[in-house]
Amino acid sequence: MSVLPAPAYLVVMGVAGCGKSSLGSALAQAEGLPLIEGDDHHSPTSRDKMRQGIALTDADREGWLATLGHLLQAQPQGVVLTCSALKKVYRDRLRQACPGLRFVFLDIDRASAGQRVAARAGTHFFSTALVDSQFATLESPVGEPGVLRLDAAADLSTLQQQASAWIAATEAA
């Protein structure tokens, strides 16, 4: 009797400009999972703050993280979520909402992140002025259980293949 693998619950995380949305979309498609774009669930007030170059506080993120936790729970077949998840306390909050949650950390250098955020300035609410605050807030998840670190400088196809191989390997274990 074969046992079906448990549904995959994944967060593609990292600072602004690391490629969360691109990899999240490619991974969701490759794995046949729904995609939740975390940025779509920020409050209008938080979006306005970020547009003005004002960094969000833990209090600003509280309702957002609660919403993301509920959205994870509402996907019994598994899901890919894009979310910065910069602090361990944020990741732990998501883990509490969804036991077994795994994180794909897109690691990027400050200069590359700044260039990418500047390149999308006309199409995204996130201000380039906030890139430094993202790096100041980031608590690297490397070493936490259920985390895969990928080099965000790699091409999208390679990143998706690496993440899919990791998912398959951890489901088989």
pLDDT in tens, 40-96: 898 888 888 877 778 788 898 899 999 999 999 999 999 999 999 999 999 999 999
Does residue 126 carry a pLDDT above 80?
A: no
**CB-based contact 82:36 (threshold 8 Å):** yes
Does residue 123 carry a pLDDT above 70?
A: no
Kindly report the pTM of this predicted structure: 0.89
Domain ranges in the chain are 9-172
1 vs 80, residue with greater confidence: 80
Q: What's the token pair of residue 27?
A: 């991974």
Q: What's the token pair of residue 152?
A: 């965000």
Residue 81, H or E segment: strand 79-82
What's at 38, amino acid-wise? Answer: G
pLDDT of residue 48: 83
pLDDT of residue 5: 61
Judged by average pLDDT, the poorest of 54-63, 113-122, 132-141 is: 113-122
Q: What's the token pair of residue 78?
A: 């598994």
pLDDT in tens, 4-37: 567 799 999 999 889 999 999 999 999 999 999 9
pLDDT of residue 122: 57
pLDDT of residue 66: 95
| Euclidean distance between CA atoms 55 and 151, whole angstroms | 25
**Backbone dihedral region for residue 21 (phi beyond 0: left; psi -120 to 50: alpha; all else: beta):** alpha
Q: How confident is the model at residue 1 (pLDDT cuts 50, 70, 90)?
A: very low
**CB-based contact 84:20 (threshold 8 Å):** yes
Token look-up 């703050």 returns 49
Question: Shortest CA distance to 23 belongs to which of 131, 144, 106?
Answer: 106
Please give the CATH architecture assigned to the domain spanning 9-172. 3-Layer(aba) Sandwich (3.40)
pLDDT of residue 129: 66
